[in-house]
Structure 1
Amino acid sequence: MIHEIWWSLPLTLAVYFAARRLAQWLNTPLLNPLLVSIAVIIPLLLLADISYPRYFQGSKILNDLLQPAVVALAFPLYEQLHQIRARWKSIIAVCFIGSMTAMISGVVIALWLGATPEITASVMPKSVTTPIAMAVAQSLGGIPAISAVCVMFAGVLGAVFGHALFNMLKIIPPLARGLAMGTASHALGTARCAEVDYQEGAFSSLALVICGIITSLLAPILFPVLLRLCA
């Protein structure tokens, strides 16, 4: 058991950096490093008959670094303060509308598909970063682990298909692309934006933070109202 726990962290890092090199070499968003890492590590764990809790213990440090990583996104924001000051009303409006749309659509679709209130509460914060989503889900009576999966799914979709959709719709301004990606696809979308354009990454990280705050404040109020309306 100690041996298995010990090698989970090196395995995770090795697979991720190999996937990153592959994505850079082939230059396609379909080979998102996180998505490729999941596709490689899960079969390995199943073949080796290693449970997720045992694997997680060995790589827990990566999970602990999530929150500092989100805080580190503040640096690009500092460099874009002049644009933020000039357009703060539009930015707040976009993030508010995006957050409300993400929460309402998640609840309505989940209930329409027959989900229980517990599962619905887990799905509701799908478009904010993982630590916030798990905390919000727990406060609503949801399952944090399911929230984490939903967050990852939304993030991977945005990171893989977001820029192709922007190009198809001819959405060019970095401000619009960054805010849209950060609102819908949180940290994974932000990471993808930062790879494509520095300004996009900055505005995406801004949307990530603002939407996290909005969701944290409004989800406890909105969730029971939506349950009653959709009952």
Structure 2
Amino acid sequence: MLALSQASSLVFPAPLPSPLLGAASLLSLLLLVPAVLPLVAPGAALLTAWMALFFSPSLISLPLVAPPPPSALARMLAVVVLGWASSLLLASRLASVGPAATPPAPSAPAPAPSPLLPPCAAAVLYASPFLLLPFAASLPLPFFLASNVAAFVLCNTRRIPLHPLLGTALLSQAAVFAHSLLAGCAPRASLALYASTAGAQVSSLLAPSVLALAVSVHNRRALIASSWLPTLLSVVATSLHGLFGTALACRLLRLPPRFSLPLLSRQITSPLALSAAASLGADGSLAIAAVVLTGLLGSVFSGALVGKEVAPLARGLAVGISSHGLGAAALSREDPEAFPGAAVGMALTGAVTAGLASVPAVRRALRVAVGAAAVAA
């Protein structure tokens, strides 16, 4: 899957994001040559299971992002929080049209997914990278990488009273702080070193994860075909709402364009959001911060806004559309019955939103909407 992702970046350069075009190509190949599926399915399943880990470097490195002025930051947070909630409710309403609204036949509840390791073994795994501390100053990559992965495994035992991604970020930052004490440097310098070494390595697997979504869509093609109307309505309407509704909200709140443009791609996964931000001339680090915050909101609070009385497909579509990979990853653990819809919603919304942002006329309209018409598109 990693090789396919690298090949797509060479074969499909601009204007569309290469992971998106690679995923479309892989989906086409799977539809035309089904025999390819057994070759890519194991890698896709592995990437999907660990997808939340690949988002963690963005959250761990968040203190490195230069914060906007307090007044702008408050307005940006308002746009992200209200935008996420309105996207979720809009997608939930539209996804409940037609077949998606039909409640499933009663069935035994799906068993909760097993943790990656038993709690004691996970705790030992998290402690083990600290044995590398004497060598961490000269060999930071093994230490940072081991502590990042071990923190994720420990937080997925459900013994940590935090959301797994938040717990992973905090435990990984603790390891970064320990490195700074040993190396005798500022914590910010150690965090920058983490971001350029282990963080870059872990984040690089996000693009292959986008390709893995092609396998999820292929495996649910019958579901999409039987519920094409709610899927189409919710994906297209929420993608337009995410781009133009966010731009309008930023304009109404008089948020300067340099802080507005990074928010427009808030509801799609990081590789596609970075590509959309580059197309719009937006700050990539702020765009990733908005993506991470949106995903966190979706993974923690979606269940409170979309009740269990909503059909599983509609629940999944709403979460995947509004909260991208982090929301889908949370459903894979907490609501496995709704996860297929989340995978479909995440993949199609990412494709539609990133595709729209790559169209010159749409880019110009978005820049005008946020008041950036004077800046060259």
After the TM superposition, which of the residue ranges 101-110 and 84-93 deviates more from structure 2?
101-110
Instruction: Name stretches of at least 5 consecutive residues in structure 1 with no aligned partner.
Output: none
Offset of 1:226 from its aligned partner? 4.0
After the TM superposition, which of the residue ranges 44-53 and 11-20 deviates more from structure 2?
44-53
1:215 aligns with 2:353: yes
Q: How many residues are treated as equivalent by the alignment? A: 224
1:166 aligns with 2:306: yes
1:133 aligns with 2:273: yes
After the TM superposition, which of the residue ranges 103-112 and 200-209 deviates more from structure 2?
103-112
The amino acid of 2:341's aligned partner reads: F
1:40 aligns with 2:132: no
Offset of 1:117 from its aligned partner? 1.9
Offset of 1:171 from its aligned partner? 4.2
1:9 aligns with 2:145: yes
Stretches of 4+ moved more than 6 A in 1? none
1:88 aligns with 2:228: yes
| 1:122–1:137 contact (8 Å) kept in structure 2 | yes
Larger Rg: 2
The amino acid of 1:58's aligned partner reads: T
Task: Note the 1:33-182 alignment, pairs <5 A.
Answer: 33-42=164-173, 45=176, 48=180, 49=187, 50-59=189-198, 60-167=200-307, 171-182=309-320
Change beyond 3 A, Cα 1:230–1:136: closer
The amino acid of 1:41's aligned partner reads: S
Q: Which residue of 1 aligns with 2:94?
A: none
Change beyond 3 A, Cα 1:54–1:87: same
After the TM superposition, which of the residue ranges 12-21 and 66-75 deviates more from structure 2?
66-75
Instruction: Name stretches of at least 5 consecutive residues in structure 2 with no aligned partner.
Output: 1-136, 181-186, 372-377
Q: Distance in 2 between matches of 1:107 and 1:46?
A: 38
CA RMSD, Structure 1 to Structure 2 (Å): 2.3
The amino acid of 1:140's aligned partner reads: L
Change beyond 3 A, Cα 1:58–1:229: closer
| 2:321–2:345 contact (8 Å) kept in structure 1 | yes
The amino acid of 2:288's aligned partner reads: A
Percent of aligned pairs with the same amino acid: 25
Q: Distance in 1 between matches of 2:327 and 2:221?
A: 21
Per-residue deviation, residues 144-189 of structure 1 (Å, max 9, x unmatched): 111111101000100000012212xx54211111111111100001
Per-residue deviation, residues 67-123 of structure 1 (Å, max 9, x unmatched): 222322343433332221122232111101111112223223333444332322211
Per the alignment, in what secondary structure is the counterpart of residue 310 of structure 2? coil
After the TM superposition, which of the residue ranges 149-158 and 7-16 deviates more from structure 2?
7-16
Q: Distance in 2 between matches of 1:218 and 1:141?
A: 15
Per the alignment, in what secondary structure is the counterpart of residue 73 of structure 1? helix
Q: Distance in 1 between matches of 2:291 and 2:262?
A: 10
Larger relative contact order, structure 1 or 2 (CA cutoff 8 Å, min sep 6):
2
